[in-house]
Amino acid sequence: MGLTMRRQLAGLCLALVLGPCVLSSASVEDRFREAGELARNGDSLRSIALYRELAASGHESASLYWNWAQVASARGAAGEALWALLRARELSPGEASIRREIERLRGMANLDAAEIAPETLDGLARTARRFRLDLLALVLLALSVPAHAAGRLRSGTRWSTRLAWGTLALGFSVAAVPLLGSLARPTGVVVRRGAPLLDAASPSAATMGSLREGEVVPFLERSKEYVRVEDSSGARGWARAEDVWSLDAPPQP
């Protein structure tokens, strides 16, 4: 087989392997642009449906959620817009524009700062993600090993001993931040105005009160289409999962 033929076959094999990925990426970009066009043309429902489909299929990004929030806000869905921005912050915790937009929406919804941050440990988790503290902790702990070894080889000189114990202590201290952040309870955002708070996870349950749109509530328990939550006043009850969207993952289309 000639060299040219081998090159052609190799190129064909490469195209067969990479082709679906390229097409998939192009399809995602096309659908993202289509969602933007729909929003500009005033078809907010179809635009959000496309954003939701893309997110649920694993194509999440801070820009997707930012656009989703703008469309939702324009149609008066403050809770959904706030949820989208909080998801964007999860993906890009250091973005200042996202933080400012969250504060703007919080003010418009007349929510206290504590009502969108019920779990103080969430802040530690975001800090850990922003500065990659888990990776930094591993590096520091790994550096402490050769430092301890060097201390033994040099019969425990003062500088090597200090370096060994210093990196070890610092590594454990840094590791404590993502560890504590992981202990935060899962939370969700109330996306429906006047979402009822129920006394049981049942369609026939009695209404105990209502949840504030845009409020972030901790999840205490899950039961199929229902979640047990606690609002800022301390009231506990069940809510429909379609009324309170989890901040851990996008809702299914």
Query: Is 39's pLDDT higher than 80?
Result: yes
> Is residue 116 situated within a structural domain?
no
Number of helices (H), then strands (E), belonging to the chain: the values are 8, 7
Which string of DSSP letters, residue by residue, matches 88-112?
HHHH-TT-HHHHHHHHHHHHHTT--
pLDDT band at 10 (very low <50, low <70, confident <90, very high): very low
Domain end marker among 181, 204, 220: 181
Residue 204: CATH number of its domain = 2.30.30.40
> Is residue 72 situated within a structural domain?
yes
Query: Is 227's pLDDT higher than 70?
Result: yes
Query: Is 54's pLDDT higher than 90?
Result: yes
- Which pLDDT does position 167 carry in this prediction? 87
**How far is Cα 192 from Cα 88, in angstroms, rounded to an integer?**
20
Mean pLDDT, range 130-153, rounded to an integer: 79
Mean pLDDT, range 78-100, rounded to an integer: 93
> Is residue 64 situated within a structural domain?
yes
Residues 7 and 83 occupy one common structural domain: yes
C-beta of residue 54 within 8 angstroms of C-beta of residue 63? no
Query: Is 44's pLDDT higher than 60?
Result: yes
pLDDT band at 210 (very low <50, low <70, confident <90, very high): very high
Residues 83 and 8 occupy one common structural domain: yes
**What is the residue type of 130?**
R
> Is residue 31 situated within a structural domain?
yes
Domain end marker among 181, 203, 226: 181
Query: Is 13's pLDDT higher than 60?
Result: no
Mean pLDDT, range 167-187, rounded to an integer: 85
> In Å, what is the CA distance from 207 to each residue of 95, 136, 181, 204?
39, 48, 33, 9
Residues 88 and 137 occupy one common structural domain: no
- Which pLDDT does position 252 carry in this prediction? 85
> Is residue 32 situated within a structural domain?
yes
pLDDT band at 188 (very low <50, low <70, confident <90, very high): very high
- Which pLDDT does position 6 carry in this prediction? 46
What residue numbers bound the domain in which 30 lies? 3-110
Domain count, the chain: 3
Residues 32 and 72 occupy one common structural domain: yes
List residues bridging with 83 in a β-sheet.
Answer: none
Arithmetic mean of pLDDT over the chain: 84
> Is residue 216 situated within a structural domain?
yes
- Which pLDDT does position 25 carry in this prediction? 63
Residues 14 and 80 occupy one common structural domain: yes
Residues 63 and 155 occupy one common structural domain: no
Residues 13 and 103 occupy one common structural domain: yes
Residues 65 and 35 occupy one common structural domain: yes
> Is residue 118 situated within a structural domain?
no
94 vs 54 pLDDT, higher one: 54
